[in-house]
Structure 1
Amino acid sequence: MADPAPLASLSVTHVYYDPDDPLSLFCAYLALVPQALCVVYATLIFSTREAEIALTFAGQLACEVLNFGLKRLIKEERPARIHGKGYGMPSSHAQFVAFWSVSVALFLLVRHTPRPPPSKARPAESSHRSWSAAERAALSAAAAVVATLTAWSRIYLNYHTTRQVLVGAGAGALIAVAWFAATGLLRRTGWLAWALENPLARMLRARDLIIEEDMAQAGWEKWEERRRASVDGKSRKTK
């Protein structure tokens, strides 16, 4: 009986690390951060239908396309002790997480303008509050720490040189700022509002609430209304 055809390995998440070095293993997990963020993007877009998240993800994909082009234009090799295929300049991981962390900071600190609760809100409603500026700054800092560790892990695992990581991080940050400005222009000129009135966007229930509201608030208010109606109905029955 002839031997079966040799099997190939799906190497999307195939990361080399030193099994005797716990820090190397930690860096190997950090290498999966971009894939995890893509899952988070897709989940949030599907569950919230928020235009801001979809636009940020579109910018993230555009950033990846640009990295693909830059690598083939510069054609700089990876470190001598190579653990990956393809060119190394700039680091795609560093560019990816830099775009993500800068986009998070720009949204939380610049674009997000939470509305104050209505003055006639009931106690249960007024107990909810939006994140303070300090809390949003802390979240932005946490995203920056994750991005920094992920970028550094590429150097520790010998996938990239320090220069390749720094250039990738710089490119990602610059693209994030440019994309933030471009999406802001879409808002100011009314193109985003026009797109959300498109029949396809309405069929997909796309919306643009996250700028002024957090994602949990609308659902919480609906739940509170239903809960109060249920409690009021039970109290009327007992009377």
Structure 2
Amino acid sequence: MVPGRPEPNLLQSLDLTNVQFPVGDSSGQWLAYATLVPLTVLISYAAWLAARREAACLIMFVGQLLNELLNSVLKTKWAKERPTTFLGEGYGMPSSHSQFMAFLTIYGMLHLHTYVQFRQVGWKYLVDFGLVVVSLTVAFSRIYLWYHSVAQVGMGLAIGTAFGLTYFAFIKYVIRPSGFIEWLVNHPLGQWVYLRDTTLSVHNVLEQEYLWHMSHQKNAAMNPADAKKSQ
């Protein structure tokens, strides 16, 4: 049933992409786009997990959610107001955007340098640089657009960094040695969703899959009948 015509002063917006910036401020407009990066990251998590079914993605995504939960708890506990009363909803200390990006950057860099191998190590530092630049841009956007104070953004970066370090160490030194990830992958539910863990067994997934594909193509060309049966 369609409700009656609403009154303008009784409406509220869904504070998901409703980012405001000063009229005519081109820098503010670009920074408004930058402040939406965490949303695109969450979508990327979902796409990565659906396409790859990697345990590493699931672990990082769970850490990101726990990081958000920690942010919510701290905001409620500290109850610090935002710089303005008309931008953003809820408390402002610490900045959730800054904490989100700090966790993503620190955990991502640690995972990259610990488990991933490239033919040229320089690519790792290029990824590091990109993560840091994007994270700092998002953090700065929260200050520039007056959604958070400098202290709130700084605290968000510090807590996100600390939690990223702690969570990575917990996964590496406690969860992996316990065999939990192997158990999860081999669990009927894990097998049903094709969950896999290539973190320790395959250091360059792209190269490994490329070599497998080329080998499969070669075998298919040599034995077309067998290739047709395997389809």
| Category of TM-score, reference length = shorter chain | 0.7 to 0.9
After TM superposition, give the deviation of residue 81 of structure 1 in Å. 6.5
Tell me how far 1:85 sits from its aligned partner: 1.4
Which residue of the other structure, out of 86, 98, 101, is the alignment partner of 2:102?
A: 98
Q: CA deviation at 1:177?
A: 0.6
Query: In structure 2, what is the equivalent of residue 25 of structure 1?
Result: 29
- In structure 1, the partner of 2:5 is 4
Tell me the C-alpha RMSD between the 2 structures: 2.0
- 1:218 Cα deviation after fit: 4.1
Tell me the secondary structure at the aligned position of residue 132 of structure 1. Answer: coil
> By how many angstroms is 1:137 displaced?
1.9
Q: Tell me how far apart the structure 1 counterparts of residues 219 and 168 of structure 2 sit (CA, whole Å).
A: 42
Select 1:170's aligned residue among 158, 166, 182.
158
More helix as a share of residues: 2
Aligned to 1:229: 219
Structure 1: where are the runs of 5+ without partners?
115-129, 235-239
* From 64, 71, 75, the counterpart of 1:60: 64
Contact 1:105 1:137 in 2 (8 A): no
- Superposition deviation, residue 10 in structure 1: 2.7
- Give the percent of matched residue pairs that are identical in Structure 1 and Structure 2: 30
Contact 1:82 1:159 in 2 (8 A): no
Contact 2:80–2:93 under 8 Å retained in 1: yes
Q: 2:187 aligns with which of 186, 198, 211?
A: 198
> Counterparts in 2 of 1:30-179, with a 5 A limit?
30-80=34-84, 82-109=86-113, 111-114=114-117, 130-179=118-167
1:203-222 alignment, distance < 5 Å: 203-211=192-200, 212-222=202-212
Task: Give the Cα separation in 1 of the matches to 2:176 and 2:120.
Answer: 24
Work out whether residues 64 and 96 of structure 1, in 8 Å CA contact, stay in contact via their aligned partners in 2.
Answer: yes
Deviation string for 1:159-206 (max 9, x for gaps)?
000000000000000110111011112112222212222111111111
Secondary structure at the counterpart of residue 219 of structure 2: helix
Counterpart CA distance in 2 for 1:81 and 1:156 is: 16
How many angstroms apart in 1 are the aligned matches of 2:23 and 2:209?
Answer: 46
When normalised by structure 2's length, the TM-score is: 0.86
User: How far has the Cα of 1:21 moved from its partner?
Assistant: 1.1
Question: Any idea what SS the aligned residue of 1:216 has?
Answer: helix
| Inter-partner Cα distance in structure 1 for 2:176 and 2:128 | 23
Shift in CA distance, 19/216, structure 1 to aligned 2, threshold 3 Å: farther
